[in-house]
Structure 1
């Protein structure tokens, strides 16, 4: 997996060198502007929703072709009130208020409600803690208009609270690397990218053919990606479309959010592996194998290795590290550090001495936390299946934001 990631990072680097040329080409060859519906699912988001709506009101996309729909999904705070104040100011914004039994079921349900009320030819999605840059929607739409084979266009997200504490710095490095390695790398080599939960555009016709989002999926974005692939489309990563979002500031919040992600991805693996031979587009297997190796074999192998190491210390099994094992350990560490630093070099102001030190620390701390998290998530998913438990959506905690200087990528 480490060598495969090195392969992906090479693709990410090559995409980094090329995407500006594509940006210029699309800029010079502007197509017609279709009507766009921007969906913003929001449940108890009063802390962040105003800044999100302010950013959306500053989009450069033509207002008369823009429809921003805020789905106030069974909120018990001032989310609906704040959203309504913006709807009164901007004629292209409207608010949908949901209540049980149809509302309050989670993000997928809210998005499906918004989809039914929307009229746009293209659907964009932003989380309620996002502040997209003014031209974000423009670039997402241009991607679909200039590439008929693309079922969806995925932009880039950056961390608003990256400098809050050590955890947010670690998450910032993780998100940058994920996008330039897994997203850009897979796009360059395989024309595959995973739809994230925010900052993406998808053709309405595709969503209608797929009957919207899967309301049983905790990772509704990953699950949707596989169904888009199966229709024969690819998903394009285009980093010129940029949004900024919050990340967890405490371990507790991080653990809950990432557990939901991991459980959601395990659900996707099980769902599509069981029906693999029924899939029309067998290319989906590339991503299925990637997720399978990452969540089960890679993490499982590392967990087994750690377990053997600890048992050897406690029980004196007399196991010794051979030269091959030492070489692999060193190579693994160097590959990890090289990939992280290369990804940081793509973003202005990120390749600093402080971040280099954090990357080294990350290998021995943050990365090891993921192993425990995936093991825990796997246990929860097995228990859910055995006892037929209902899937529950856990909302990520938001924070009052401190203004930060936002630098575009180099």
Structure 2
């Protein structure tokens, strides 16, 4: 978090330096995979039409992936209005196989030197592409540049407020902090730019990965590039508004990250650039050692309520428990302090409740995801993609907080 704090104080100066060095504007292709997205795709394409990047250098490619609603119709209407917006319609057997397959289908039709990706529920700010591209132009060692995403429907209910705090903390701690200290950041599912030459060298996205973004990150590291986090590039996205949708989305994320961990763990010695091991350790500590340790601790506590397990809690244990809680609170509040109008009394109370509710839900989710993923591997089941359910954005548009 201290790394995130230091980056938050420096990145605006970096932006000024970059703006003084814009030798040319490379051609850019934006990929938007869309499966049954009629509820949100119009707002996304409207945001694309308002981008400040030179339109003669821009190609917006929507992959209407086997939709059976009005997604294709809406996209075609925007394609007629804006020459730089194109639509690809996919059907089985090539279509309807998930996000990675849709992105690979789109990649084959791109004309840009740089590829950007946005989810169909995203509304990037007008200068988002400009900043992503500027990062690649000014940093030849960057294989990809990732921006910041904000929660469009943060004020919808208690769950979306929790998710809003979670996303801000993730970006300022895991993304900004890792970038500041180790020059590492993970490609998110949206709002990032990557050199097309790299995607071609890597043969695109892994269609067996549920977390295609994390998996791609590791392969880019292995080519010797770094992935840069730059918070000037901002997009707004919709988050789950019900527990059922949240559970299914996050389960897919957890399963996908577990897939990536073991894919690269068992092939670690074959990797060309061992520096990728730093991020592998980060993911292993997050999903294996940390969650495993907490689950073991919880299990011992519950067992002690029923059986005499011959354990006593000493002064040091109480001290560690209190310290862990305070560290959690401090890190969350620090992340909120980096964003305008986020360090509010309501959010402070939400953070305290978050420790005892939302954070504990993640424990059950990771155990469930691990069980499902192990079963899939043992039974050699095919990977099934779950598309996150969308909600109407009419109420959310007026609730964005900068």
Is 1:359 the counterpart of 2:355? The answer is no
Is 1:105 the counterpart of 2:97? The answer is yes
CA drift at 1:174: 0.1
SS at match of 2:108: helix
Partner of 1:123: 115
Partner of 1:55: 47
Q: 2:379, 2:84 → 1: CA distance?
A: 46
**Alignment map for 1:143-162 (pairs within 5 Å):** 143-162=135-154
Is 1:368 the counterpart of 2:360? The answer is yes
Q: Is the 8 A contact 2:153 2:400 kept in 1?
A: no
Q: 2:23, 2:103 → 1: CA distance?
A: 28
1:171-193 deviations in whole A, cap 9, x for unaligned? 00000000000000000000000
TM-score under structure 2 normalisation? Answer: 0.99
The unaligned stretches of length 5 or more in structure 1 are 1-8
Tell me which of 77, 87, 91 is aligned to 1:85: 77
Q: 2:259, 2:310 → 1: CA distance?
A: 39
Q: Is the 8 A contact 2:155 2:399 kept in 1?
A: no
RMSD: 0.7
SS at match of 1:404: helix
Partner of 1:383: 375
**Alignment map for 1:332-351 (pairs within 5 Å):** 332-351=324-343
Moved over 6 A (4+): none
- May I ask how many residue pairs the two structures share in their alignment? 400
Partner of 2:176: 184
Q: Is the 8 A contact 1:154 1:236 kept in 2?
A: yes
Is 1:212 the counterpart of 2:210? The answer is no
1:347-369 deviations in whole A, cap 9, x for unaligned? 00000010000000000110000
The unaligned stretches of length 5 or more in structure 2 are none
Q: 2:276, 2:386 → 1: CA distance?
A: 28
CA drift at 1:136: 0.1
CA drift at 1:70: 0.2
SS at match of 2:359: helix
Tell me which of 285, 288, 301 is aligned to 1:309: 301
CA drift at 1:137: 0.2
Is 1:406 the counterpart of 2:400? The answer is yes
Q: 1:283, 1:406 → 2: CA distance?
A: 38
Q: 2:398, 2:253 → 1: CA distance?
A: 27
Partner of 2:244: 252
TM-score under structure 1 normalisation? Answer: 0.97
CA drift at 1:30: 2.2
CA drift at 1:26: 1.2
Tell me which of 268, 277, 286 is aligned to 1:276: 268
Q: Is the 8 A contact 1:156 1:239 kept in 2?
A: yes
CA drift at 1:29: 2.2
SS at match of 1:162: coil
Tell me which of 316, 329, 335 is aligned to 2:321: 329
CA drift at 1:393: 0.2
Q: Is the 8 A contact 1:73 1:97 kept in 2?
A: yes
Tell me which of 32, 38, 51 is aligned to 1:46: 38
Q: 1:334, 1:56 → 2: CA distance?
A: 42
Q: Is the 8 A contact 1:160 1:404 kept in 2?
A: no
Q: Is the 8 A contact 1:161 1:246 kept in 2?
A: yes
